[in-house]
Amino acid sequence: MNNHKMACILLMALIAGMIYGTQQMQSRANSARDSLETAKSGAESAEMARRTAEANLLAMDKKTDDLRQIYREWLPHFAAFHSPQEGESRIGELVRQGGVFLLSQRFELKEQKKDAVIPAVLSADLVFEDDYTKTLNWIGQLEEKVPNCRISKCRLTRGDRGNNLHAELRVELPVLSSKVTESESAEGAGSATEAKPNVAKS
């Protein structure tokens, strides 16, 4: 094989290598382009999902604004009782303030679901007899001062004296889980921290 043939073979091998290398580079470029398009499409889908979720959150926030306002207004009343003792103490305090003559009282704790927001309900059976007007006023004050209570039984009959009213009541007070108010306190503290401006020290 002379030098001319050898040179032709080497040239052809070089050209073939260049063609192969060019094809490999083009293939890698196409793969990179496809990966870029896939990533771009995924990013666009993620952005669209984020915007949709944000819009849904804003819509839900607006839709539940009234409910959350009611929740904030009523929470302090429910948060007043974390134990049966607090409920019993409050009932006794109202009886003393009203000055009604209490004949008997009996308290019973009714357990609910263990992990429920309201794990128990305190049931108070009260029997008292006093002046007609004073008795009715006391019942009205009970609903005003403890608005979250429920009067499940109210039996009114004539008392021993002409102007007296004999009343038998069953008052139910929800005992709120302390986790609820602890969560609210933590959220309130976080909001206050975020809202507090940074003051530069001189």
pLDDT band for position 125 (50/70/90)? very high
Q: Percentage helix, strand, coil, to 5, in the chain?
A: 60, 20, 20
Whether the model pTM is above 0.75? no
What residues contact 158, with CB distance under 8 A and at least 6 apart? Answer: 164, 165, 166
pLDDT cut 90: percent of the chain above it: 26
Helices (H), 64-168: 65-78, 84-98, 132-145
Fold of the CATH domain 81-178: Alpha-Beta Plaits (3.30.70)
What residues contact 171, with CB distance under 8 A and at least 6 apart? Answer: 91, 123, 124, 126, 142, 149, 150, 151, 152
Amino acid at site 129: E
Give CA–CA dist 84/123, Å, rounded.
Answer: 9
| Backbone phi and psi for residue 118, each to the nearest 5 degrees, phi listed first | -115, 90
pLDDT > 90? residue 138: yes
Q: Tens digits of per-residue pLDDT, 74-84?
A: 777 777 777 88
Structural domain spans, the chain: 81-178
What residues contact 127, with CB distance under 8 A and at least 6 apart? Answer: 102, 103, 104, 105, 166, 167, 168, 169
Amino acid at site 189: A
What residues contact 193, with CB distance under 8 A and at least 6 apart? Answer: none
Cα–Cα distances in Å, from 66 out to 56, 75, 149, 181, 184?
A: 17, 14, 22, 20, 18
Q: Tens digits of per-residue pLDDT, 63-73?
A: 888 887 877 77
Q: In the chain, which ranges are E strands?
A: 102-111, 120-131, 150-158, 164-175
**The pLDDT value given to residue 123:** 93
Give CA–CA dist 142/118, Å, rounded.
Answer: 21
**The pLDDT value given to residue 116:** 67
Sheet containing strand 164-175, edge to edge, reads: 102-111, 120-131, 164-175, 150-158
Residue 145 and residue 190 in contact, taking contact as beta carbons nearer than 8 Å = no
pLDDT band for position 166 (50/70/90)? very high
Amino acid at site 135: T
